[in-house]
Chains A and B, each alone.
Chain A
Amino acid sequence: MYNEIIFYSASFLILLFGVLTLVSWNIFYSLISAIIVFFTTSIFFWLLGSEYNAVIQLAIYGFAIPIILGLGIMFTNLKKDRPVKFGFSNSKYGLILVCGIFILAMIYIVLISLLSVPEIFSTQIIFDEFINPHSNFMVFSKGIFSNYVWAFELISLILTITVAGLTIIKRVGRRAK
């Protein structure tokens, strides 16, 4: 009974704020609506029995990505009469953007590293009683570190290349100026 109420409430919120994201004139209101949609999606993952994905959805789509998008909105919402300079101030903004990417990477790596110690979670009685087999950390660990280990390594490599590459591009651009 409670699952149905939660499902229909979450569906209504997704429908409402998803449409509001598109039709909002102000980009900041669109971002707020998108955050609510991302938060509500984590409720769906929880309903589907995957608490771990719900936490990742909350951490990455609920916090990290909106922060980066908000920074992007703030940095690019310049007044028309103010000329844009490639001086220190914009470099500072780029540096903050790179720091946001680092925070994103750290959140992902910390959450993934939790999977590398599945014994801690699986041996606790509380987790064994309340977590269903789909969301068990042992199942995730087996999936990532045995069945899809190459995909996992590839994702880690891409993430590292992205962070390092953006930093290098920023430094090369500064030297060129």
Chain B
Amino acid sequence: MTEITLYHYLFVGLFVFVLGFAGSIVCKNIIKVLICIEFMLTGVNINFATFAKYCGGSSADGFVMILFYTAIGAIELAVALYIFYFMHCKKQSDNIEKYGEL
């Protein structure tokens, strides 16, 4: 079994990011779009941790950035869900194409 290198982690992070990016474009369900946006943030976090481990030396800046990104992702999700809830009460649908006008 080969040794785990920087590129192994980067590939997984890239896959999660691309999965989230593709899903946020393709999916019509707004909950699924929000999940995909969280996937994108998760992919970015994996890259932060990878570079902090392999290229960061003794500093933990990448790990600290993960804390901030996690908080931003949580805030963004909370606000988006709240807006979605009120829009759903008016539009009666979770199809994102019907949410063109706020």
Hey, what's the 0/1 contact readout for B67-87 against A, CB within 8 Å counting as 1? 110111111011101101110
* Number of A-B residue pairs with CB-CB distance less than 8 Å in the complex they form: 184
Q: Which bucket holds chain A's interface residue count?
A: 35 or more
Check: A84 CB closer than 8 A to any chain B CB: yes
Bound Cα distance from A101 to B77, whole angstroms: 10
- B94 neighbours in A (Cβ, 8 Å): 27, 76
Q: How far is the CB of A168 from chain B (nearest CB, A)?
A: 12
Bound Cα distance from A47 to B60, whole angstroms: 15
Interface residues of A in 121-177 (CB under 8 A from B): 133-136, 139-140, 143-144, 147-148, 151-152, 155, 158-159, 162, 166, 169, 173
- The reply to whether A45 and B8 contact each other, CB–CB distance below 8 Å, is no
**Overall SS of chain A's interface:** helix
Check: B26 CB closer than 8 A to any chain A CB: yes
Bound Cα distance from A69 to B63, whole angstroms: 26
Bound Cα distance from A30 to B70, whole angstroms: 21
Q: How far is the CB of A104 from chain B (nearest CB, A)?
A: 5
Interface residues of B in 48-102 (CB under 8 A from A): 49-50, 52-53, 56, 58-61, 63-64, 66-68, 70-75, 77-79, 81-82, 84-86, 88-89, 92, 94
With A133-B58, A139-B60, A148-B68: A18-B74 Cβ-Cβ less than 8 Å: no
- B32 neighbours in A (Cβ, 8 Å): 21-22, 27, 30
Out of B1, B59, B63, B75, name the residue touching A50 (CB < 8 Å).
Answer: B63
- The reply to whether B68 and A68 contact each other, CB–CB distance below 8 Å, is no
- The reply to whether B23 and A69 contact each other, CB–CB distance below 8 Å, is no
Check: A119 CB closer than 8 A to any chain B CB: no
Q: How far is the CB of B88 from chain A (nearest CB, A)?
A: 5
Q: Which residue of B lies closest to A144 (CB)?
A: B64
- The reply to whether A65 and B74 contact each other, CB–CB distance below 8 Å, is yes
- A49 neighbours in B (Cβ, 8 Å): 53
With A22-B27, A44-B46, A69-B31: A162-B75 Cβ-Cβ less than 8 Å: yes
Q: How far is the CB of A171 from chain B (nearest CB, A)?
A: 13
- A173 neighbours in B (Cβ, 8 Å): 86
- A75 neighbours in B (Cβ, 8 Å): 85
Q: Which residue of A lies closest to B50 (CB)?
A: A48
- The reply to whether B68 and A158 contact each other, CB–CB distance below 8 Å, is no
Bound Cα distance from A104 to B53, whole angstroms: 28
Report, nearest first, the 3 A-B pairs whose CB atoms are least far apart: A143-B64, A139-B60, A48-B49
Q: Besides A94-B82, A158-B71, A162-B78, 13 other CB < 8 A contacts? A: A14-B12, A22-B36, A52-B63, A56-B66, A69-B35, A72-B84, A76-B84, A94-B85, A108-B74, A112-B67, A134-B60, A135-B60, A144-B64
